Amino acid sequence: MWELVKAGGWLMTPIVVCSILALVIIIERSHTLQFNKIVPTRLREQLITRLRENGDIGRTQLMNVKEKTALGDILATGLLYRQYGLESMTMHMQNRASVQVHQLEKNINMLGTIGAIAPLLGLLGTVLGIISSFLAITDGAMQDPTMLAAGVSQALITTAAGMIVAIPALVAYRYFQRRIIDINAQFETQAGLMIQELYDYQLLENIHTLVPANSTVAMDEHARVQLDTDKVNMATP
């Protein structure tokens, strides 16, 4: 293996670095983007059940839920702001979902970049190897075929190495992109179901700007007095 790397020339160094980076990112994202760690099953049902049984969930408990999983962060944020109404609750959940998706996309673009530049590095090595072969011909390589073979081997090795790095990187990049899309869809589904269940079980608290009760009573009393005055005026000849 080391002999092949040496035969590929100096361009094998960045290709090897790209392969190490791609491998590290693939392993790290494979461990991070696990569905059961990001979107745990029955989390929404557990929160709704606790709300129905106790009428409310303490802020400390919700903060614990927020810190454990990405879905828990979104749902707990919504419950923290549910007393301010549906619009505020939805807005805060959308903000947290955007933050979580951004964190899930960490290093994914780097993986796509590696998949794009690795073949170009291999192609550059091919060009340089062919140039070396032609230069060797002008220097009398027709009498010494080994001089010609060195440039050709460099071209073939770098091309193969670039493709070997690029193909798995691009496959993993597309796979992780699809996984993030599915996770984001689950975020939206779970948040929508929670809002619907809050409505169904009458657990959504809405705060509206209302006229104070004393003012309402005073207005009713004023209307009644005005009506009595009008009746007296109509009865007077």
Reply yes or no on whether the pLDDT at 224 is more than 80.
no
Reply yes or no on whether the pLDDT at 146 is more than 90.
no
What does the mean pLDDT of the chain come to? 83
Q: Show the 3-state SS of 16-57.
A: HHHHHHHHHHHHHHHHHCCHHHHCCCCHHHHHHHHHHHHCCC
Q: What pLDDT shows up at residue 15?
A: 94
Phi, psi of 57 (to 5 degrees): -125, 130
Q: Quote the DSSP letter at residue 210.
A: -
Averaged over 23-27, what is the pLDDT? 97
Name which residue leads in pLDDT, 145 or 79. Answer: 79
Joined together, the tokens standing for residue 187 give: 């975020």
Q: What pLDDT shows up at residue 165?
A: 96
- Tell me the C-alpha distance between 131 and 14, whole Å: 20
- Tell me the C-alpha distance between 26 and 32, whole Å: 10
**Is the C-alpha dihedral spanning 234, 235, 236, 237 positive or negative?**
positive
Reply yes or no on whether the pLDDT at 208 is more than 50.
no
Least confident of 19-23, 146-150, 157-161: 146-150
Joined together, the tokens standing for residue 179 give: 């996984």
* Nearest alpha-carbon partner for 38 in 82, 103, 95: 103
Q: Per-residue pLDDT tens for 62-90?
A: 999 999 999 999 999 999 999 888 999 99
